[in-house]
Amino acid sequence: MDFEIENLLFKQVEKPKHHLMTKIINVWENRYRINVYTETFDDIDNLTKRKIHASYFCHYSPGELKIMDGPKNPSDALKKCS
């Protein structure tokens, strides 16, 4: 089911550049918290950095995912962080 939820999410929002993974957490019944992680390499610090790029609260029913809360695109996620 996680695979279907992830596919439904990325039909609605763009998958970020440097996508690492998507973590889908069942909060209760058919409501989920979906965290989308990215990974980048920082040449200055010589470190691999992993972060939550976007986080969504969603309502799932078979074949349908409704985003209840969260950024609609990556630029919205960046605005919330700054």
**Segment 17-61, tens digit of pLDDT:** 999 999 999 999 999 999 999 999 988 888 999 999 999 999 999
Predicted pLDDT of residue 76: 54
* pTM exceeds 0.85 for this model: no
Predicted pLDDT of residue 72: 54
| Identity of the amino acid at 72 | K
Beta strands at 19-28 and 31-42: parallel, antiparallel or unpaired = antiparallel
Predicted pLDDT of residue 69: 84
Predicted pLDDT of residue 82: 37
Domain parsing of the chain, residue ranges = 2-81
Long-range contacts of 47-52 (CB under 8 A, 24+ apart): 50/20
**Segment 69-78, tens digit of pLDDT:** 876 554 554 4
